[in-house]
Amino acid sequence: MSPTTPTRFLAWRKSSYSGKQSHCVEVATTNTIHALRDSKNPNGGMLTFRHSEWRAFITSVKHDAIGH
């Protein structure tokens, strides 16, 4: 997926960590990338990660969340 791929081709879902909040992160996954975007601004841009980068990102977020 290139940075110019339209986001309409991605299947976005609300992050499970967003709960019932209206301000949340949306996630889309393909066979090559994971993408994140702000639900309040879906056309504003997104972060993309290769699968190995995604695992490192999630590990880091979880590590910070538990205060290590």
Tell me the average pLDDT of the chain: 80
- Which amino acid, residue 7? T
The upper half-sphere exposure of residue 39, i.e. CA atoms within 13 Å in the direction of its Cβ, equals: 13
Q: Which range is least confidently modeled, 17-21, 28-32, 62-66?
A: 17-21
In the structure encoding, which two tokens stand for residue 47, read together?
A: 């972060």
Question: Range with the lowest mean pLDDT among 5-9, 48-52, 63-67?
Answer: 5-9
Backbone angles phi, psi at 18, to 5 degrees: -80, -20
Give the whole-angstrom CA distance, residue 12 versus residue 8.
9
pLDDT band at 34 (very low <50, low <70, confident <90, very high): very high
CA distances from 9 to 1, 12, 43, 49 (A): 10, 9, 13, 17
Q: Please report the pLDDT score of residue 21 as a whole number.
A: 65
What integer pLDDT is reported at residue 1 of this predicted model? 47
